[in-house]
Structure 1
Amino acid sequence: MKRFDVKQVARVVSEMAVLLAIYFIGCQIAAGLQLPIPGGVIGMALLLLAFATGWVKPATLQLGAGVLMTEMLLFFIPALMSLLDYGALVRTEGWRILLVIGVSTLLVMVVTAFTVEAVCRWRVRHDV
């Protein structure tokens, strides 16, 4: 059994608070400028900007992000439970829903791969 480490817990909580603050800032920007882009996407762009400029090192938020990633299923349970309410819709339009999910997942993977490749090449060119 792991020993309860107060410093570790405090670090995880503070990192998650920073990530949540960035998300809320993104939401405020989206609402204030009336952008059709979700606040979470703007928050991720702000986080990417902070990483790219060196204001924040990715390792400083690694534990908090890791906790969120390991508990990601909790974020999807409400969406999965709604399938029970709309079973008839899923039976009639399920193939279209699966097609959209598949295409969007593929697009996210492709865009992520190209972004990682571009950032790696940029880092090599600028000797970061």
Structure 2
Amino acid sequence: MFVASGRVIPAVFRQLQIPLQVVLYAGLFILSRQLVAWGHVPLPANLVGMLLLLALIICRVVPLHWVRAGSRWLLAEMLLFFVPAVVAVVNYPHLVMVDGWRICLVIALSTLLVLGATAWVVDKVYRYEVARERQGARDND
């Protein structure tokens, strides 16, 4: 009996892991929304929630493996979350005809800015890691 229950519980936990992590994200968003409203923080609740989760992971309050599977699932299914927004654009052909070029320009510029900022941060972190590795090699000699 103990062997069977020992196999069933981890299997059930594995099946519930992603839904539980998504519920954790939703709860964190609700908490961050309340914090933004209560503290009059001039940031969107989703950004406050991400910063809060990052702080919890860095401080090791929340282990990374507690949120890894849910985040991978959400990233894998991200395209599905954009379908309603894209389909809704069809309802506004006049808006697309008049302001479509502006919308495309904003999308292109924001994409370039995100790519540039990401490349800049990756370059800085890479240079920091290389310098740190060299410093560690000098200290070991």
TM-score, length of structure 2 as denominator length: 0.70
Q: Compared with structure 1, are the counterparts of its residues 98 and 30 closer, same or farther at alpha carbon in structure 2 (3 Å cutoff)?
A: same
- Partner deviation per Cα, 1:3-61 (whole Å, 9 max, x = no partner): xx532221112211212222112111122223332110110111111222222232321
> Which one of the candidate residues 14, 19, 32 is aligned to 2:20?
14
- Deviating above 3 A after TM superposition, structure 1's stretches of 4 or more consecutive aligned residues are 109-122
Partner of 2:3: none
| Structure 2 spans left out of the alignment, 5+ residues | 1-10, 137-141
SS at match of 2:67: helix
Q: Matched residues, percent identical?
A: 34
Aligned pairs for 1:1-128 (under 5 A) are 5-115=11-121, 121=128
Q: TM-score, normalised by structure 1?
A: 0.76
- The alpha-carbon distance between structure 1 residues 119 and 67, as it changes in their structure 2 partners (threshold 3 A), is same
- Give the number of aligned pairs: 121
Choose 1 or 2 for highest CA Rg.
2
Gaps of 5+ in 1: none
RMSD: 2.6
SS of corresponding position for 1:46: helix
